[in-house]
A and B are shown apart, each in its own frame.
Chain A
Amino acid sequence: MLDVQSIQSGYGKALAIDDVSFQLEASESLAILGRNGAGKTTTLKTVMGMTPAWQGRIVFKGDDIVNLSSDTIARAGIGYVPEERRIFESLSVTENLLTGEKAGASGAAPWTVERVFELFPEIARRSMAPAGTLSGGERQMLAVGRALMGNPDLLLLDEPSEGLAPVVVNRLGDALAELRKSGIAILISEQNRRLARLAAENVVIMETGRIAYRGTFTDLDKNPEITARLLGV
């Protein structure tokens, strides 16, 4: 479904990621692990068309989407949950969900405000409140819900666990596992391995802008020295 072929990108003249390639089949889930500054966020932003790719191709469902505008990429069926969440603080929770509302690429629109509230009852209770008054965990749920409102085939999640309490991370992990079962493909960047595992079966590890390991979580568990080398602090 998503075929990232040797992309290169950066900011100004500084190279941030180079020769990054990975594939993702429909309903498959992939986690990108790596330390701070490894290039995880840049990779996701490049897929989303928010940071220009200097080189490489990104094929989504057979179409080259590299360097298209982010709204075109979103309409092609990719939902984006940014690292800083970027909810609209002056809008109410429900209004935030409505900003993301659109039919999926296939025309079907199974996601509604009610269904998002079923998945995240925490924010349903605050549906009329300005989103700026939400806690970090509620904001994250809102950001995920807002992306789901666009009925994506693929969900990009950029470090969703960042800054959240462990109990909230677990809650989010359950929700992501549930989403996986419903058939949405997930590409998640994380530093929290536990959450990444709940969301994905396959994994790539990035180091200084390049892919340093690829495999499954099961394989990774058998090779603790890789984890220590690439992720250990």
Chain B
Amino acid sequence: MGFYFAQFLTGLASASSLFLVAAGLSIIFGVTRIVNFAHGSLFMLGAFIAYSISQKFGFWLAVPLAALSVGAVGWAMERTVLSRLYGAPELFQLVATFGLVLIVQDAALWIWGPTDLLGPRAPGLTGVVRIFDQPIPEYDLFLIAVGVSVLAAIWWMFTRTRFGILVRAATEDREMLQALGVRPARLFQATFFIGAALAGLGGALEMPRQPASLLMDLNIIAEAFVVVVIGGMGSVTGAFLAALLIAELNAFGILILPEITLVAAFAAMAVVLVIRPYGLLGRPATSAPHAVEIQPPQTLGQTGRITALGLVIALVVLPFVAGDFVIVLTADIMIFALFAAGLHFMMGTGGLVSFGHAAFFGIGAYAAALLVNNAGLGMEIALFLAPVFAAIGAAVVGWFAVRLSGVYLAMLTLAAAQILWSASVQWQDVTGGDDGILGIWPAAWASGTTAYYYLTFALTTSGIVSLMMLARGRFGILLRAGRDAPARAQALGIDIKLRNWTAIVIAGSAAGLAGGIFAFSKGSVFPDTLAIPNSVDALVMVLLGGLHAPAGPILGAGVFALLEDSLSRLPYWRALLGAAVVGIALFAPGGIAGSLSKWLRRRREGTA
């Protein structure tokens, strides 16, 4: 009995930090309608900044100062990047905050270095208290008290202060509030400051419990997303209940089966979403007015078709003229072009964002590897089944996501990818953990560099061409209708949810096929196929190429591969990528292809 109570208290203590982060995320979303993917980064900054301050001024000064500093960082993010995107399509807001994750990640690496930093313990709270004869750390009890106090403070602010009333009003109808004379900019800045400070406080309070590390940002954001989705977007009390639920699930799940904790959170979320689609205390979001820039369908023009034909011929001829290095590099580009083409299909044509697209790439790669190594199947069947398994994964994630608004899909895919990545690292018996799975070689007939190159060429080209045809055809038209005018499309009898779901499954299977081909081309699979950087690469390729250009993913994959080859040796390559992502969202939403065609059009008009 005493032991279980102790475990319960441990759960409550872990819930505190999770609640602080999720509450901040939820408040910011409520007012600005922006899902801040960089919120985990703010948590991480809280931990690092608290560590640095504590070295000079001690623990108790470090915690509040770190929270305030992180609040200031959040405020600066709002001023410099997000305030410019309030009218922009949701997709670019999400993408921009995601770019900030990469920038903060490298900034932290630059300032604090790669090693984990364990902060001091809290003076005065280093002992244990015996409850039911079980030792309970005093600090855990303190954390529980902080969590409850913050909930009370937020409740007080929301109901008793004018600022809180305005925040709640803004959550309902921002435009009306503005027409009453309230300056939205000030409200947004204050909200960002408070939300960020809460995340920073959460990070700072973790000091005695876990070292500040560069992995904190993505770990906590995946969990916080689950919490916010379970609790209901925009509901602080919901976030509190959900944080308790997840933390207790973890605390008790670990007693039964350590591996289960990873899946448990996701399973809990699935159950809640089935019963209450908007979360425990959430309400259907009144969608904020977004600038909908209706994108006319773009097809390859005369020049485009000639270029495509030239490209295909060049790819066929390549092995006769190039060396092994170029052949393998080109095959890699083709694999990533297929991966990106799937993402481009769902994002560009469907307006559906995935920030964890590597999840499906990784499922394909691991499925192929396990089918060959453990099930003893041949390469042909493995390559056939890889996209099937990825499609099943996409179907599960998509099933939940299409029932909710667009931001949920981005959150769910990111959380899914992060959980699969953790599973691939920890579930050593099956995945080999960090050592990966080795010795996955193609069948004898396809084992030469040139032979496998042609197999890659055939599979990726047919995949990309099918995607392009789908996007141009009836399916693509209906998908675009759902993207640009969901209410009208629905009134016309188009089942948008079904279309979107299908699009996600198609994109997932394209990624799975790419993952399968990738596994055989490398002969091995490692957890990083599932990791966030792999998702980011695909995202950057799509954005770089151009979200609404048919050739976008091919162009993007090609340019990205060349850039990566030359730039990835730079020490802060990820931050550069992040800056590029933010820059595209702010200044060149059309990507390379978009900017190019705009330039060409202007030139043509100029000469005519």
Any chain B CB within 8 A of the CB of A227? no
Once A95-B165, A98-B162 are accepted as A-B contacts, the answer to whether A70 and B172 lie under 8 Å apart by CB is no
Pick from A71, A86, A90: contact of B182, CB under 8 Å: A71
- Residue on B nearest A75 in the bound complex, by CB: B181
Pick from B162, B166, B169, B179: contact of A70, CB under 8 Å: B179
Cα A82 to Cα B173 with chains together (Å): 12
CB distance from A62 to the nearest CB of B (A): 19
Contact B168 A86 (CB under 8 A): no
Residue interface mask A76-98, B partner, CB < 8 A = 1: 00001010001011110001101
Contact A101 B162 (CB under 8 A): yes
Q: How large is the interface on B (under 10, 10 to 19, 20 to 34, 35 or more residues)?
A: 10 to 19
Any chain A CB within 8 A of the CB of B184? yes
Any chain A CB within 8 A of the CB of B128? no
Once A98-B162, A101-B162 are accepted as A-B contacts, the answer to whether A74 and B179 lie under 8 Å apart by CB is yes
Cα A69 to Cα B87 with chains together (Å): 14
A-chain residues with CB within 8 Å of residue B181 when the two chains form the complex: 71, 74-75, 100, 102, 150
Cα A190 to Cα B42 with chains together (Å): 51
Any chain B CB within 8 A of the CB of A48? yes
A-chain residues with CB within 8 Å of residue B183 when the two chains form the complex: 71
- Name which of B165, B177, B183 has the most chain A CB atoms within 10 A of its CB: B165
CB distance from B171 to the nearest CB of A (A): 8
Any chain B CB within 8 A of the CB of A50? yes
Contact A82 B176 (CB under 8 A): yes
Cα A95 to Cα B180 with chains together (Å): 13
A-chain residues with CB within 8 Å of residue B184 when the two chains form the complex: 71
Any chain B CB within 8 A of the CB of A16? no
B-chain residues with CB within 8 Å of residue A192 when the two chains form the complex: none
- Mostly, the B contact residues are helix
CB distance from B1 to the nearest CB of A (A): 42
A-chain residues with CB within 8 Å of residue B165 when the two chains form the complex: 91, 95, 98-99
Any chain B CB within 8 A of the CB of A146? yes
- Name which of A86, A98, A150 has the most chain B CB atoms within 10 A of its CB: A86
Q: Which positions 156-190 of chain B face chain A at CB distance < 8 Å? A: 162, 165-166, 168-169, 172-173, 175-184
B-chain residues with CB within 8 Å of residue A71 when the two chains form the complex: 178-184
Cα A95 to Cα B169 with chains together (Å): 9
B-chain residues with CB within 8 Å of residue A98 when the two chains form the complex: 162, 165
Residue interface mask A93-117, B partner, CB < 8 A = 1: 0011011111000000000000000
- Residue on B nearest A74 in the bound complex, by CB: B181
- Residue on A nearest B294 in the bound complex, by CB: A12
CB distance from B561 to the nearest CB of A (A): 41
Any chain B CB within 8 A of the CB of A147? yes
Pick from A75, A82, A91, A150: contact of B169, CB under 8 Å: A91
Contact A88 B178 (CB under 8 A): no
Contact A88 B180 (CB under 8 A): no
Once A95-B165, A98-B162, A101-B162 are accepted as A-B contacts, the answer to whether A80 and B179 lie under 8 Å apart by CB is yes
A-chain residues with CB within 8 Å of residue B172 when the two chains form the complex: 88-91
- Residue on B nearest A49 in the bound complex, by CB: B179
B-chain residues with CB within 8 Å of residue A102 when the two chains form the complex: 180-181
Pick from A80, A88, A101: contact of B168, CB under 8 Å: A88
CB distance from B585 to the nearest CB of A (A): 23
- Residue on B nearest A151 in the bound complex, by CB: B181
14 further A-B pairs in the complex, CB-CB below 8 A; given A48-B179, A71-B181: A50-B179, A70-B175, A71-B180, A71-B183, A80-B180, A88-B173, A89-B172, A90-B168, A91-B168, A91-B172, A98-B165, A100-B181, A101-B162, A150-B181
Name A's B-contacting residues (CB within 8 A).
48, 50, 69-71, 74-75, 80, 82, 86, 88-91, 95-96, 98-102, 146-147, 150
21 examples of A-B residue contacts, CB within 8 angstroms: A48-B179, A50-B175, A50-B179, A69-B178, A70-B175, A74-B180, A75-B181, A80-B179, A88-B172, A88-B173, A88-B177, A89-B172, A90-B168, A95-B168, A96-B169, A98-B162, A98-B165, A100-B180, A100-B181, A102-B180, A102-B181
Name B's A-contacting residues (CB within 8 A).
162, 165-166, 168-169, 172-173, 175-184
Shortest Cβ-Cβ A-B pairs, 3 listed: A74-B181, A86-B176, A70-B179
